[in-house]
Every structure is written in C-alpha cells, then in structure tokens.
C-alpha cells in the first residue's frame, strides 16, 4: 500500500521538474529561431507553435489547482509562448494589475504583427530592423529602465523614415499603456493568496493517466513515441544487466563462502586480494584494454569492439546464440568484474558471522560434515544481506552504464538517457526516472518476500 503514495510523490517531483526546466520544448521540436521575417511567415510560425503546443498538451494548466496571489489571473497558462508568459508573471509580480498589463501586452503583440507587413526599402531598412528587434525584446523584458529605453528607441526609429511615420500613434499607445501599468499599480494584490481550481483537465492528470496505460509522450528529438525509443534501447540494457547479474552472483557467492570457510589463510587472502584489485580498476580503462587486446587493436582480433548483434535471420538457434556471445563477451566482462569483490565481501562477512552461531557449533558437535554445515545450515542466514543488495539491482537493470555503452556503441538505456539529457529530450529522461523509481519499489518488495522465503522466522503478519 505504501507504493501508491510513494509513487505519487515521485511522479509529482518528476513532473514538476520536467515543467520547470530551462528552454521551450515546442520551439525545440519546431526548430524555431528568432530571425525576423515577413508577417505571413511569423503568423504561420505562430499557428504551428500553437498547434504543436496543443498536441503536447501544454495548453492546459499544470496541475489540478494552483496557489498564487490575487494579482495573477487564472488563465495565464493560455499565453502560448513560454518566455512571454514568464515575462508577464514578472510584470504581475512588480505591479499587480493584470488588466493594464494585459492591454500593454496585447498592444505590443498587435504592433509586432503590423510591422511584419511593412515593406522594406532603402529608406527604412535599418530603422525597420531596429524596430522589429526592439518589439521582440519588449515581449520578454520586465525591467522598467530597459522597457522605457526600448519604447524611446521605437519612437526614434519610427521618425527616422517618412514612410514609417504612420507607426508613431501605435508607439504612443504602447507608451501610454505601459504608463498605465506603472501608475495604476496595485501591489497589495500580491499579498492576497488565491487558489485556482482546474479539475482533471490539466497537464499532470493527462501525463500520469497516459503513463499508466503505456503512453509516455513524444520524443522531442525525432517525434517518435517515447515507448518506441525506450523499447529499442531497454532490451539491450536488460539483456546485458541480467547476464552480468547472474554471472556476478554465480561467481561471487561461492567465492565468499570459500573465503569465509578459510578465514585468514592463504586461500582467503588470495581471493580477497584478487577481487579487490579488480574492484579498483576503472571500467572505462578495462574496456579500453579489452578492445585494444581482444577487439582488433594491436594484438588479437577475437571479438567485435563495438555494436550489438544485427539481424540473425537464416541462422540456427546455436548460430544466433554464438553470434550473441561473440558480440557481448567484452561488454559483459566489463559489467561483471566490478561487482565480484563487493558481493563476495558481503557474502564472506555474513558467512563468517553465521559460522560463529550456536546452531553451527551444535551441528559440528553432532559430527555433521563441514561441507553440509556450510551449504545447508549456514548459507540460509548468510543470504539476507545479499538479498538486500539484490533489491537495488532492479533499477540498474534498465538504467544501464553510460560509459560502457558509449565505449562499446551499445544502443542501450545509458547511452539513450545520456543523449536525451544532452539534447534536453525530457520525455525520455523522465520516463527512465519513473521506471527506475518503480523498479526500486519492486526491488524492495521482492527483497521482503525473499527474506521470509529464506528465513521462516521472518513474518509480516500481526503476530
């Protein structure tokens, strides 16, 4: 039952991070730029922006409700452009009179459209460029001194050419409306708290309900469904992770038991020293050495140095199996060796503790074979710390290793998440975060169940 509130809290944190990161995802998808063009082009870009914003669900309020002040309007989210919306919020915070700010903003937007229709010639080209630039800046500028400077620039440039003089009344209107913003300020409204209710038609509700049915949104990079991007990457990471996890536990647990059974002698010291040496080696360095020695570098060309198995149509089962082993041997070695020391050391410590217990001494006193004491009596209680570590394996199964996947050119989750983060492709990034959170919770549940399976004395009922 704790899954529900925990997952809800994680989803809230993930969602609000995604909505407050820098940049504008719509402009990123449309490859918008700030170049000044004709009015027709500007209007077409505006329409495309609004349509894409609606497609992504960004035209809705962020959450079921918002807590703000009386000065902030309920429908501020309807302003399409993110940076213009942020600028209006700053103006509201300064002056607190939304109606005057709204009139000023609408006048600047209307003037922006009008100057896009002005034909440029040799007499007004420079002045027109400056006017267009200043108007674009006005839409995102909250500072009083800068706004006053830009409006004065507009007046100066409108007088610079005879065929631009008809723009002077609009500039005067903008100046007058901005003066109203200052003179009719109501700053007290900023201190009156207000709750705005939006219901279920909001971004978070749309996002979480779609996530629950497997719709993770659209990738900002190529506009593919995120679930397609994730599936193409996660299968390789899961394959490598589970092979590595299986081999790590298969090798480390017996080594830990052998070390505990031979505590302090040469065998224990040899195993511990060897594993600690492996543990201290950086994975990127080992990967580079493996490629150089066995991947067609300066020595042997036994394994591919990069990539994953391509199409295996026409191969028999054993042919496909051999092809996978051939491609994945070097990455699996790099994934596996680092965990051997840690797991075996945990197993050794738990086993040494178990071997000192009374029930083990009793079994030995009864003449039970030492091998049977180790593998039947002591091992069950020794597995509890290992099960705890196993609970942390679940999220690692999909997160992957960024460094190793980049070195071996494996299109897994680590490489995909890294590329998405660099490109600010947040739907992919936050889908990985949510899955990691879910698998972490699943890991703890599985660990709790395995505790009771391994040790019958552990029970979760009320008794």
Supply the pTM of this predicted model: 0.73
Range scoring the smallest mean pLDDT among 100-104, 106-110, 312-316, 364-368 = 312-316
Mean pLDDT to the nearest integer, 444-463: 71
Domain boundary among 184, 212, 240: 212
Q: Decide which of 342 and 144 is more confident.
A: 144
**pLDDT for the residue 159:** 85
Average pLDDT across the chain, whole number:
84
**pLDDT for the residue 191:** 92
pLDDT above 80 (res 306)? no
Strand residues in 222-341 grouped as ranges (E): none
76 within some domain: yes
Query: How many domains is the chain partitioned into structurally?
Result: 2
Task: Give the pLDDT band (50/70/90) at residue 456.
Answer: low
Greatest alpha-carbon span in the chain:
112
Same domain, 256 and 395: yes
**H or E element: which one contains 196?**
strand 193-197
Domain boundary among 212, 247, 274: 212
Domain boundary among 164, 180, 212: 212
Percent of the chain at pLDDT > 90 equals 22
Specify whether the CB–CB gap between 391 and 447 falls below 8 A.
Answer: yes
Residues 60-90: b if buried by 16+ CB within 10 A, e if exposed: bbbbeebebeebbbeebbebbbbeeeebbbe
444 within some domain: yes
Q: Kindly report the CATH number assigned to the domain that includes residue 446.
A: 1.10.3720.10
pLDDT above 50 (res 383)? yes
**H or E element: which one contains 315?**
none
Same domain, 294 and 417: yes
**pLDDT for the residue 54:** 86
Same domain, 167 and 38: yes
Task: Give the pLDDT band (50/70/90) at residue 198.
Answer: very high
**pLDDT for the residue 460:** 61
**pLDDT for the residue 35:** 46
Mean pLDDT to the nearest integer, 420-424: 80
**pLDDT for the residue 104:** 95
In tens, the pLDDT along 86-129 reads 999 999 999 999 999 999 999 999 998 888 888 888 888 888 88
Which residue range forms the structural domain that includes residue 97? 22-212
**What value, to the nearest 5°, has the Cα angle with vertex 27 and ends 23 and 33?**
105
**pLDDT for the residue 462:** 56
167 within some domain: yes
Between CA 143 and CA 301 the distance in angstroms is 64
Specify whether the CB–CB gap between 174 and 41 falls below 8 A.
Answer: no
434 within some domain: yes
Range scoring the smallest mean pLDDT among 91-95, 178-182, 209-213 = 209-213
pLDDT above 80 (res 228)? yes
**pLDDT for the residue 36:** 45
Burial class for 304, CB neighbours closer than 10 Å (0-12, 13-18, 19+): buried
16 within some domain: no
Percent of the chain at pLDDT > 70 equals 92
Same domain, 351 and 442: yes
For 414-439, give the DSSP string. HHHHHHHHHTT-HHHHHHHHHHHHHH
């Amino acid at each position: 039952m704790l899954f529900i509130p925990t997952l809800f809290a994680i989803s809230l944190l993930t969602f609000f991070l995604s909505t407050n990161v820098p940049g504008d995802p719509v402009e990123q998808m449309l490859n918008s730029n700030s170049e000044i063009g004709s009015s027709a082009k500007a209007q077409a870009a505006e329409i495309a922006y609004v349509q894409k914003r609606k497609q992504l669900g960004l035209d809705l309020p962020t959450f079921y409700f918002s807590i703000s002040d009386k000065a902030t309007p309920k429908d501020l989210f309807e302003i399409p452009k993110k940076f213009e919306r942020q600028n209006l919020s700053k103006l509201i915070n300064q002056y607190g009179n939304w109606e005057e700010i709204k009139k000023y903003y609408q006048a600047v937007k209307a003037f922006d459209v009008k100057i896009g229709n002005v034909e440029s010639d040799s007499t007004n080209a420079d002045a027109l460029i400056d006017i267009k630039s200043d108007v674009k800046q006005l839409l995102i500028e909250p500072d009083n001194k800068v706004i006053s400077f830009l409006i004065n620039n507009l007046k100066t440039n409108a007088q610079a050419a005879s065929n631009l003089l008809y723009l002077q009344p609009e500039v005067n209107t903008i100046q007058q409306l901005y003066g109203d913003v200052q003179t009719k300020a109501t700053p007290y409204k900023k201190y009156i708290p207000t709750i705005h209710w939006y219901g279920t038609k909001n971004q978070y509700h749309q996002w979480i309900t779609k996530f629950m049915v497997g719709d993770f949104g659209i990738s900002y990079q190529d506009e593919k469904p995120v679930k397609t991007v994730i599936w193409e990457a996660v299968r390789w990471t899961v394959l490598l992770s589970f092979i590595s996890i299986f081999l790590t536990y298969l090798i480390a647990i017996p080594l830990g038991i052998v070390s505990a059974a031979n505590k302090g002698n040469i065998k224990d010291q040899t195993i511990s020293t060897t594993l600690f040496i492996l543990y201290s080696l950086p994975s990127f360095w080992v990967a580079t050495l493996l490629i150089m020695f066995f991947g067609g570098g300066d020595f042997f060309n036994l394994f591919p140095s990069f990539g994953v198995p391509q199409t295996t149509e026409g191969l028999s089962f054993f042919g496909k199996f051999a092809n996978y082993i051939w491609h994945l041997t070097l990455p699996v070695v790099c994934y596996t060796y680092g965990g051997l020391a840690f797991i075996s050391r945990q197993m050794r410590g738990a086993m040494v503790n178990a071997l000192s217990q009374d029930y083990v001494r009793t079994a030995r006193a009864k003449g039970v074979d030492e091998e049977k004491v180790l593998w039947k009596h002591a091992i069950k209680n020794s597995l509890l710390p290992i099960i705890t570590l196993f609970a942390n394996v679940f999220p690692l199964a999909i997160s992957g290793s960024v460094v190793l996947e980049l070195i071996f050119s494996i299109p897994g989750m680590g490489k995909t998440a890294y590329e998405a983060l660099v490109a600010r492709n947040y739907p992919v990034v936050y889908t990985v975060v949510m899955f990691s959170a879910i698998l972490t919770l699943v890991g703890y549940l599985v660990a709790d169940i395995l505790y009771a399976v391994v040790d019958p004395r552990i029970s979760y009922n009320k008794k």
